[in-house]
Every structure is written in structure tokens, then in C-alpha cells.
Structure 1
Amino acid sequence: MTTATTADLPSQPAAESTTTLAPLKGGALVMLTVATALATFMEVLDTTIANVAVPTISGTMGVSAREGTSIISSYSLAAAIAVPLTGWLARRIGEVRLLTFSVILFTLFSVLCGLATDFNTLVFFRLMQGLVSGPMVPLGQAIMMNNYPPEKRGVAMAFWAMTVVIAPVMGPVLGGYITENYSWPWIFYINIPIGIFCVVALRSLLKGRESAISSKAPIDVVGLVLLVIGVGSLQYMLEHGNDWGWFESSTVVRLAIAAVVGLTFLAIWEWYDKHPVVDLKLVKVRNFTVGTILQTVGFTIFFGNVVVIPLWLQTVMGYDAFHSGLATAPVALFAIFFSPVIGMNMHRVDLRWLIFIGFGLFAYGAWHSSLLTPDSTITDVMLGRFLFGLGIPFFFIPLSSLMMQGMEGDDLVNAAGLSNFLRTLGGAMGTAIFVTLWSRRTSFHHARLTEELHPGNPMYDQLMANAKASGSSLEASYQMLEGLVSQQAATKGTLDVLYLSAGLFIIMMFCVFIAKPVKGAVAQAGH
């Protein structure tokens, strides 16, 4: 078995190293786990909880539904920029202090979002909410790892990963329920008790456990500007590209150029800068690089499925937003109960085999979901999503541990920030790519089916005969036929997405073995 040593990792200035403290134990460790998991859950939940409320909010504030999507894009855009800054900010402010401030400000801006009386104000507060949320997920991961005993860090990763995966699935369900039964501001107000609890718990449990602060490190202004330009352009393009027709739009072309130029120069600048805002030298660590690539691609496919299936349910099956979210929620059910089991036992096996199994289960779940038809019941949909979710604990938890093997202190925070940024980017890419693919494959199948339906075709003749026998007019018959064609085309487009997902997951099963073998507990010990 091969493990990383401190020699494998990018060196850090001595002033930036952290003091090693004894891990927390007993009730304090449990409370820290709950607090950091809830902080992570709250931040990730807000990426999707507002999605189903957009029509309601838009109608209330007198803007179009398309304008209303700014509620979502402003948050995700700001968060995408802020996440990679986590390591740099933590070195200047301190990990515990930064996480505490982030939770306080996130809760405050959540309240202000709920109190907003006009649309522009709401978008501004959502932007600020996303901006301060950036450090919450990677710091939650890093602080849990740094305060858990080495032999129990697999369990820490299990609880952290479980919240990251479950939260975006639960967002539409919770958002739909609150919007339908209460009022939309409550999708923001529910953060208040969670935020207060997290702040109190973090301040009491982590007192005296602050990381070292490198106050003399200069601000990398060039890197920061390039980060904003590159990541901001890419995120905005992914958010709106499908609505604008992708590269048929001059705006998308300009955003793509800005993203490529910004990110290219960012990579070059950060590689040579002495105090980078994003530590790209982490790519020298083989398992971090391989694991991050697999996590990003895997999350792209996973999130693409999480978005496309509800679209199919709402456009073809007639589900409303709440019930489509409810039908797909079982994707997280297995992870809730089985993630701790994986976390407690993954030190017994090579992590690569667990990830191999995870990708295999995703492939099987995607294939099983491809058996769905427009006649499928909500139970059939829920079963398919449950089977797809079997892969979650085998994928995300061991893969996160494999990426972080041997890392401590600043390296751990930097790695958590970079990997979480790429995971978030993977989710945005999954939404953009798979929705576009689904839309275009639906149009393709619609054209093919329309070509086949003409007088003389037995199916066409039978459908028109049945419509005539039922007393329908010719116009009504054509409308009925168009409805059937649209339904079948959207279903075939969904199946194409599922087939592609299954194939990609099968390929990724074997890419896992590019990484070095490592067992879970050793991976986190840093020895």
C-alpha cells in the first residue's frame, strides 16, 4: 500500500503552518459534527431551495420568470468566485474565525433576502449571501478533519459528504412545500435557527483552536482579478447559455472568450506567484489530481441526472414542482443511512474498490431508470431514483478521503477549497450540459417521430381512426397527436441522457485505478 507523505505535498511557508491540537472527543466531537454538517447543509441547500419558488417570487415582485432566475444565478455566481478563495482567506483571518463570520453573515443576508421588498434588492442580497457562503463548505470539511482522531476521519468525511449530496436533492422538495403552504420568504427564514446554533456551537467548541494567521502575506490582486473574470464569466455562461442558444449568441461567445483567457492566465499566474489566492501546486499530488477530476466529472453526471429527471416529470408526466422533487428524493435515502457505515469501515479496504463499486451502482441505477415510460407510476420513479442513489456513499465519501490523503493544516484547507470549487463547477456544468442535451435530443426525436406519422402509416391511421370514433374534430385529433409525439420525444430524450450517464460511469469505474492504492484511515492520518 502506498500513502502520501509530507514530502509529496506542496511546501508552505513556516509562518503559515498550524499548531497541532489534540482531537476532540465524546460529546464535543458530536456537537462539532452536527454544527459543521448543518452549516454545510444550509449553504448547499440554498443553491436549490429557491429554484421552485422563482415563479412565485417573480409574480409577487412583478418581473418575468426569466428575470426571476437572477435569484439563482446571482447566488451561484458569487459562491463560485468565493469558494477558491477559502485557503487564502483562512490564512489571513483564521479557519475558525472565517467559518464563524461566514455563518453569521450568511444568516444575516438570509434574513434580508426574506425582508426584501423589491426584486433588485433581493438579487443583491442573494449575491451577498452567495459571496459569504463560499468558505462554509470547504472549511466545514477541513475543520472536521483537523479535529477528528485520525482513525475516525473516515466517519467525519461520511457525515460531511452526506450533507453535500443530500442538500441539493432536498432543496426543491423543501422549497416547494414551504412556497405552497406558507410564503416564499420562509425559504430564507429557516436558516435563522440553524445559523444561530452553528455560531454558538463553533464559538464554544473551537475556542483556543484557531489556526495560525499569516497576516504578512500580501494580497494577490492580479490573481483575484483573473479569478473573478474567469470564474464569473464561466459560471454566468453556464447559467444562461441554454436560454441564449449557446454559441449562436454573441454574448455567450464573449463570455466564453473571457472565461478561457481569464482562467488560462490565472493558472499561469498562480503557479508562479509566491502567495497565490488559489494554490494550484496541489495538482502535483497524484491522488488529489485524479480524485478531483473523477469527483468533478462524477458530480457533473450526477447533478445532470438530478436536474433532467424532474424536468421530464414536470413536462411529460404532469407533476408539479413539489411532487417531482418528492419523486426524486429517494436518491438520497440510502446515503442517509449507509454513509456512516461506509465511513466507519472504509479503512479496511482499498478506497479505489469502493469508488469502483460506487460508479458501478450509478451506472446500474441510470440503466434501471431508463426502463421508465410515460405510464410509470410515482412508485416506479422513486424506485429508480433509490437505485441510482445506492452509489452515493460509495462514490463521494471514499473519493473525498482519497483526495485528501496525507494532507494537514493549510494544505488541507487549500485542497478542500479547490476541490469544492471544482465540485460546484461540476454541478453547474452538469445542469447546463445535460439540460441542453435533453432539449436537443427531445427536438431530434420529435422531428423523427413526426416524419413517421403520415397517412398510410398503420400507427397514424389507427390513432386517427380512434380519434374519429370518439367524436373528436380533425383539429382536436391533430392536437392529440402532437401531444403524444411531444410526450414520446421528451421521454426518448430522457432515455438518451440515462444511457449516456450509464456509459460514462462505466468508463469512470476503471479510471479510478489511475490513483495510488490507499486505505481510508491511513489516508487521513498524515503520517
Structure 2
Amino acid sequence: MATAAPAQVAHAPLEGAARVWGTIALSAATFMNVLDTSIANVSLPAISGDLGVSSTQGTWVITSFAVANAIAVPLTGFMTQRFGQVRLFMASVILFMITSFMCGIAPNMTTLILFRAMQGFVAGPMIPLSQTLLLSSYPRAKAGLAMAMWSMTTLVAPVMGPLLGGWITDNISWPWIFYINIPVGVVAAAITWTLYRKRDSATHKVPIDGIGLALLVLWVGSLQLMLDKGKELDWFHSAVIVTLAVVAVVAFAFFLVWELTDKHPVVDLSLFARRNFWSGAFATAVAYGLFFGNVVILPLWLQQYMGYTATQAGMIMAPVGLLAIFFSPVVGLTVAKVDPRRYATFSFLVFALVLWMRSHFNTQADFWTIMIPTIVQGVAMAFFFIPLVTITLSGLTPDRIPAASGLSNFLRITAGAMGTSIATTFWENRAALHHAQLVESVNTGNAAAGSVISGLGSSGFGMDQVLGQINRIVDQQASMLAANDLFFGSAVLFILLIPLVWLARPQRSGAGAGDAAAGAH
């Protein structure tokens, strides 16, 4: 059980212009943070090419940020008690700007991954604390409105991320996807310090669970490294992968034992005794892993095999927030009246529909055919976070909500990183399989293959050029079929997740919508 925080001084809500400026500043910091989880997606081919690595290695730019961020999130409660909400939030914003600059000047992929991990780690407290400070700025009766305003920011950022990332990559250069954080951070930090410096929370010294933290870093880091390097090193035929798997399993076992017996655990595992917590947290984590894995694959496929520029791929990804921005306030204001399990079920069904639609893409699919499922996905996004957070945190006393929010966010972010690695590995493996199957049918006995070969030959191509062209067509088809497999499998998994949501008990009392929303994202 986590230690109780000292008695807090209740600050009066902000009024008028101060509340507006406070909302803008806190939302800007959140925007900058969430933007960085999606802005690099469409820039991966450019970053990988510029730094001379494969696109698979390029995905480390995403996973290194996510893993470090996941490890930092559960520490927010401990660090808040030691340093105070406002001071910790300011430190997080300032360090985020510094590490963003370092990412931009990184000379090679190794350095970039290191700086991205540092950026993810210092960003950990920013999102939970932006919610906490925002809720303290509004009267309790308007907590739902505060969280609806905040959630709209987290939905606009994924819209802007691919668009900005694509435009910057095509028209300036990819380091600017990181430099763009600096002016936003300066504005957010200046306004926040002006308004909130006299509203800091009480602090007291609490012991840090150093061993628990070390074991957490060890097992999460080993597991993610195993997933990222597996394809490259031929999985369990490699001694490195076997070693990483053993380290991850052993460190996880020790972590469980230590956290369940330590007086001040870094992660409060006793929360898993609550059915609503574990069913909500696991449903959120698996669904987010599926969603994020597919979000990474789509722009890679569009740029590598469909001839899209980074800007065009960004335009395909961007509309995911349009309907989400419209529906999110509705969900935020009605989630207390409607069974959140119904909303979550609806979200999973729409996600499944979107992925089923994508599983029917072919290499002739035009811009609008590819974009329509992205627009529909906005509906699923709106009904995803707030109802699942309400389920996860329902019935908890206010003093346990920060620990529960930290743990559920840790699971979600870790699942996102793992989803990226698993999706890219699955896509490449299925593409290799489809490539082998398609190549078998390319022979003189196949009428279609024969006509393509003779057609290219009569156009003046030499035999080597003909075979090169055919191989390119086979590559394109194989990657398309592999993406279809991934989309269809993900759709099925979303359907299978629905019973997990219904294992939760109906919410009767406990965390209100405002408190629950405070753990959102």
C-alpha cells in the first residue's frame, strides 16, 4: 500500500482569465507531450534513411520514448510528494525541451534512441500533473468540463502529429519535429509558473523503492529489447534473445515478490485484487497496444510500398481526431449516467469495423478509400479512454487514485511500445511468407506472369530489369497481403476483448467522473 500524502492545502479554483490561461498552458504542455508520441511515425522512413538504418530499427525512435515514459509514470506519485506538483511539472516541461533539442542534434541512430529514452523519462510526470493542476483550477462541479477540455487536447495532438511531422519532414528536415517543442514549452512553462507557483502541494520525504525501480527497469527494458531485436537476430536461435528473455522473466518474478512485500512499493500491485481495476486496465492496455501497432504500420506501408510522401501519409492519419473531438465532450459529460461498459464495447466494435475495412485494402486503393476508416476510427477513440478509465478507477478511495492511474498508464504505455514491436515483426514475417508464395507462381506456365514478362520485354527492358520490376511488384503485393493479415487479426482481437470489459462490476459509487477522468490518457 502506498504511503498517504500529507494534508494538502485546498486552493480555491482559478477565476476568469486566469482559469482560461491556466487551461491553455496545461493543455499546451500535454499537447507537446502527446504530439511527440505520434509526430515521429510518418517521419520514420526519413529518419531511418538519413541515419543509415532499416525501418525496423527506426521504430526504436518510438519504442525507446514509450518504454522510458512508461517506467517514469509510476514514479509521479513519489516525486510529487518529494518535490511538489508545480515544481515537478515545471521541471518535467523544462527537461522535455532540453531533451527535444538533444534529439534534434543527434548525429546517429544510437544517440537519437538514447536522447528519445531520456525525453520519454522526463515526460513521465507531465500528463498526470497537467490533469491534477487543471482539476484544481476548476470548481468540483465543473470537473467533467475540465476533463473534456483536457481530453480534446489529447485528441487534437494525434491529428496534428502526423500532419506536422509529414510537412516538416518533406519541407524542412526531420530534426524540426523535435525543435518544435521548444517554443510551445517556453509558453507553457512561463504561464504555468506565473499562475501556479503559489499553489504548490505540500511535500514530505518518502523513501524511494530503489530495488523495485531497478527491477522494473530491468524486466521492461529486457522484454522490449527482446521484441525489438528478435527479428534482426532470428529470435530464439540467438543467444542474445534467449538471455534477454531469461532476464525479463527472472527480473519480473523478483519484481512481483519484492513489490508485494515492500512497505513503500514503487508500483502498488495490491490494486490487482480489485476486479474493476484489472479488467479495465488490461482491456485498455491490450486495446491500446493493438491500436498503436496498427497506427505505426499504416504510414510505413503507405510510404514504402504505395509511393506516398510523408505529408500525404500524415493527411491519411490526421482525421482520426475529427469525430473524436466532436464526441469526446459528449462522452465526458454522460459517462456518469450511462454504463461505461456499454461505451467501451461500442468503442471496441468500431475499432474492429475500422480494421476489418482496412483488411480489404489492395494496391489500387485510392486516397479516400484509405482515409475513410481513419475518419470512422475517431468515433472509437472518443468512446475509448474516458469509459475505460471510469471502469478502472471506479470504487477506489481518492488517496489510491494516483497510484491506480500511474499503474494503469504504465500498462497502457508499455503495451503501446510492445504493440509497435510485435506489429512490425508480424508484418515483416507475413510479407516474407507471402513473397515466397507469390514468387512460386511467377513462371512461364502462369499466363499473367508470362504476359507481364513479355510486355516488359517488348518495352525494351533487359531480362535483369524485367525480373527487378517483377520483384518490386511482388514486394508490393506481399506487403499489402501482410498488412491485410495484421488488420484482420487485430479486428478479431478487438472483438475478443469485449468480454473482458464485462467482467467489471457496474459502477455504483466511488470515483466520480471527475476523479476518474483525472486518470485519463
Q: Distance in 1 between matches of 2:303 and 2:169?
A: 17
- 1:447 maps onto 2:436 in alignment: yes
Q: The residue matched to 1:391 in structure 2 has which SS?
A: helix
Partner in structure 1 of residue 170 of structure 2: 180
- Gaps of at least 5 residues in structure 2 are 517-521
Partners of 1:296 and 1:426 within 8 A in 2 = yes
- 1:436 maps onto 2:421 in alignment: no
- How far did residue 220 of structure 1 move? 1.6
> Which of 72, 79, 82 pairs up with 1:92?
82
Partner in structure 2 of residue 492 of structure 1: 481
- 1:47 maps onto 2:37 in alignment: yes
- How far did residue 108 of structure 1 move? 2.8
> Which of 260, 263, 275 pairs up with 2:249?
260
Partner in structure 2 of residue 369 of structure 1: 358
Specify whether residues 156 and 423 from structure 1 end up closer, same or farther in structure 2 by C-alpha distance, changes over 3 A only: farther
Q: Distance in 2 between matches of 1:440 and 1:145?
A: 46
Q: Distance in 2 between matches of 1:437 and 1:121?
A: 27
- How far did residue 159 of structure 1 move? 4.0
- 1:459 maps onto 2:458 in alignment: no
* Of 153-162 and 383-392, the range deviating more from structure 2: 153-162
Q: The residue matched to 1:243 in structure 2 has which SS?
A: coil
- 1:34 maps onto 2:24 in alignment: yes
| Residue correspondence of structure 1 range 349-498 to structure 2 within 5 A | 349-407=338-396, 410-468=399-457, 470=459, 472-498=461-487
Specify whether residues 335 and 488 from structure 1 end up closer, same or farther in structure 2 by C-alpha distance, changes over 3 A only: same
Percentage identity across aligned positions?
45
* Of 228-237 and 152-161, the range deviating more from structure 2: 152-161
Q: Count residues with an aligned counterpart.
A: 515
- 1:230 maps onto 2:219 in alignment: yes
* Of 504-513 and 22-31, the range deviating more from structure 2: 22-31
* Of 225-234 and 472-481, the range deviating more from structure 2: 472-481
Partner in structure 2 of residue 6 of structure 1: none
Partners of 1:446 and 1:489 within 8 A in 2 = yes
Per-residue Cα deviation, 1:116-151 (whole angstroms, up to 9, x for no partner): 678776665444323211111222234434554444
- How far did residue 517 of structure 1 move? 1.8
Specify whether residues 290 and 152 from structure 1 end up closer, same or farther in structure 2 by C-alpha distance, changes over 3 A only: farther
| Structure-1-length-normalised TM-score | 0.87
Specify whether residues 452 and 70 from structure 1 end up closer, same or farther in structure 2 by C-alpha distance, changes over 3 A only: closer
- How far did residue 226 of structure 1 move? 1.1
* Of 143-152 and 30-39, the range deviating more from structure 2: 143-152
Q: Distance in 2 between matches of 1:525 and 1:406?
A: 13
CA RMSD of aligned residues (A): 3.1
Q: Distance in 2 between matches of 1:30 and 1:42?
A: 18
Specify whether residues 402 and 22 from structure 1 end up closer, same or farther in structure 2 by C-alpha distance, changes over 3 A only: farther
* Of 408-417 and 288-297, the range deviating more from structure 2: 408-417
Partner in structure 2 of residue 308 of structure 1: 297
Partners of 1:141 and 1:416 within 8 A in 2 = no
Report the AA paired with residue 39 of structure 2.
I
- Gaps of at least 5 residues in structure 1 are 1-9
Q: Distance in 2 between matches of 1:490 and 1:115?
A: 33
Q: Distance in 2 between matches of 1:194 and 1:384?
A: 31
Specify whether residues 274 and 123 from structure 1 end up closer, same or farther in structure 2 by C-alpha distance, changes over 3 A only: same
> Which of 203, 206, 215 pairs up with 2:196?
206
* Of 427-436 and 202-211, the range deviating more from structure 2: 202-211
Partner in structure 2 of residue 135 of structure 1: 125
- How far did residue 47 of structure 1 move? 3.3
Partners of 2:13 and 2:139 within 8 A in 1 = yes
Report the AA paired with residue 384 of structure 2.
F
- How far did residue 463 of structure 1 move? 3.4
- How far did residue 213 of structure 1 move? 2.4
Per-residue Cα deviation, 1:437-480 (whole angstroms, up to 9, x for no partner): 11111122222222233333343344345445555444444333
Specify whether residues 500 and 185 from structure 1 end up closer, same or farther in structure 2 by C-alpha distance, changes over 3 A only: closer
* Of 397-406 and 498-507, the range deviating more from structure 2: 397-406
